[in-house]
Amino acid sequence: MIDLLKNYSINARRMKKSAIRELLKLTNRPEIISFAGGLPAPEAFPIDEMIDLVEGVLKNYGKKALQYGPTEGYPKFVEQLIKWEKEQNGIDIKPENLLITTASQQALDLVAKILIDPSDPVIVERPTYLGGLQAFNQYGAKFIGVPMDDNETGINMGKLEQTLQKLKTDDEHYKFVYIVPDFQNPTGITIPQEKRKRLIELSEEFQFLLIEDSPYRELRFEGKEPEMMYKMDNTGNVITLHTLSKTFAPGLRLGWIVAHEDIIDKLNTAKQATDLCTPSFTQAIAAEFMARGLLLENIKKVKDLYKKKKDIMLDSFKKYLPERKDITWTRPEGGLFLWLTLPGYMNTSTLFEQALEEKVAYIVGEAFDCYGVMKNAMRMNFSYPSEEEIVEGVKRLANLIKKNIKD
């Protein structure tokens, strides 16, 4: 056999197996209560509704739904999404502003493909979505992390501006800032309206694209919804990524990108060489699902379920975690995750083995940090475990934390 190491591309040599994925395998043991995954609750999958509609899709549109489709998307699905964006987010888009993707991860890959050259600085929140880091890393991104504010409003704008100014002074060719503005993965934090406005102003001032990755936006349990940055924007600098993975079913792998038509055109060309098109069949099903008004219904069901689970997790934190200034957590108004911070001397990687012994699991904070140094935090998922498991799992975790407190 040829010597693979000599033959892999520089891109390939950069790709590391995700340590998290390997850890996640350990957490699949049935006796473990896992807050580690990012999976939607399977009890919320609209299985009966799908049984009801799939036969019709095959009978009425089978010849199109099983055929190759346009790279930009299956026309009926495109139509539904345009209507959706209008009704839900108040934006008027044309088909030229939309590209269907094989879910959000492909959107991230395509954005990276058309924007990142090796060693290009890419600005991200600390912490940020792991899958974003992986997608950008493939193309050789040099990450520049900007910390969050302490008051659960997301990225620190002062630090962001300093970073941008420094890059400008250094003549660095950075191209975008990656933001997860709604119920961020991993922290659950939402960026308020005022900050969003300022982000858009900065994008024009410092000439960068703003990647608004928003997979959880529809899952708001409480509080007031800030506008989508794409809606607030008049510059054309915002690229928004949406998905049905959290509101319908991740197993369909359906997402979409909303952006200026020139950007969509380039993304479309990239997608054509990447997978020709997203499955017509799943798009046809989603189009019918939306046309029947089932997506809205399903979102309501999912929100009720997750809100309850989130409240139970917060209640259990209050009840079981030691009351200390150096143990804090976020209080998300939606989404699937929250962020638990432990005393600075604790290392959640080291704790992880003990956690498995106690039969509870989470994801270590450092996985979401582009610098890999946020050692004393963890991401907690509340969508997948049952209500009972949440209570019991938090108890186990609290015991573990108490055991490791030094004072």
Query: Which position among 119, 162, 207, 350 is part of the footprint of a copy of itself (CB under 8 A)?
Result: 207
Residues between 255 and 274 with contacts to a copy of itself, criterion CB under 8 A = 260, 262-263, 265-266, 269-270, 272-274
First vs last Cα of the chain: how many Å apart?
58
Query: Which position among 143, 281, 289, 329 is part of the footprint of a copy of itself (CB under 8 A)?
Result: 281
Q: Is 171 in the site for a copy of itself (CB under 8 A)?
A: no
Q: Is 109 in the site for a copy of itself (CB under 8 A)?
A: yes
Question: Which residue stretch of 11-19, 147-155, 289-297, 328-336 sits at the interface with a copy of itself (rule: CB under 8 A)?
Answer: 11-19
Q: How far apart are CA 70 and CA 277, in angstroms?
A: 6
Q: How far apart are CA 147 and CA 154, in angstroms?
A: 8
Q: How many residues at the interface with a copy of itself, by CB under 8 A? A: 85
Which stretches of 27-128 are DSSP H helices? 47-65, 75-89, 103-115
Q: How far apart are CA 168 and CA 165, in angstroms?
A: 5
Binding mask 15-44 for a copy of itself (x = CB under 8 A): xxxx--x-----------------xx-x--
Tell me how far the alpha carbon of residue 65 is from its chain's centroid: 28
Side by side, the strands of the sheet bearing 377-381 are 328-329, 337-341, 377-381, 363-364
Q: Is 232 in the site for a copy of itself (CB under 8 A)?
A: no
Distance in Å, CB of 361 to a copy of itself, minimum? 17
Task: Choose between 41 and 391: whose C-beta lies nearer to a copy of itself.
Answer: 41
Distance in Å, CB of 309 to a copy of itself, minimum? 17
Q: Residues 151-181, buried b or exposed e (16+ Cβ, 10 A)? A: ebebbbbeebeebbeebeeeeeebbbbbbbb
Query: Which position among 139, 216, 289, 337 is part of the footprint of a copy of itself (CB under 8 A)?
Result: 139
Distance in Å, CB of 69 to a copy of itself, minimum? 7
Task: Choose between 239 and 327: whose C-beta lies nearer to a copy of itself.
Answer: 239
Backbone angles phi, psi at 33, to 5 degrees: -85, 115
Question: Which residue stretch of 152-160, 187-195, 207-215, 311-319 sits at the interface with a copy of itself (rule: CB under 8 A)?
Answer: 207-215
Residues between 48 and 107 with contacts to a copy of itself, criterion CB under 8 A = 50-51, 54-55, 58-59, 62-69, 71, 102-103, 105-106
Query: Which position among 80, 97, 214, 237 is part of the footprint of a copy of itself (CB under 8 A)?
Result: 237
Question: Which residue stretch of 205-213, 299-307, 310-318, 373-381 sits at the interface with a copy of itself (rule: CB under 8 A)?
Answer: 205-213
Distance in Å, CB of 107 to a copy of itself, minimum? 9
Distance in Å, CB of 8 to a copy of itself, minimum? 6
Q: Which one, of 63, 45, 38, lies nearest residue 284 by Cα?
A: 63
Q: What distances in angstroms separate CA 282 from CA 82, 190, 269, one per listed residue?
A: 17, 30, 22
Task: Choose between 27 and 282: whose C-beta lies nearer to a copy of itself.
Answer: 282
Query: How would you classify the pairing of strands 33-34 and 360-361?
Result: parallel
Beta carbons of 128 and 120 less than 8 angstroms apart: no
Beta carbons of 339 and 379 less than 8 angstroms apart: yes
Q: Is 299 in the site for a copy of itself (CB under 8 A)?
A: no
Task: Choose between 135 and 148: whose C-beta lies nearer to a copy of itself.
Answer: 135
Report the 3 state secondary structure along 297-363.
HHHHHHHHHHHHHHHHHHHHHHHHCCCCCCCEECCCCECCEEEEECCCCCCHHHHHHHHHHCCEECE
Contacts with 315 (C-beta within 8 Å, 6 or more apart), sequence order: none
Residues between 368 and 407 with contacts to a copy of itself, criterion CB under 8 A = none
Distance in Å, CB of 332 to a copy of itself, minimum? 21
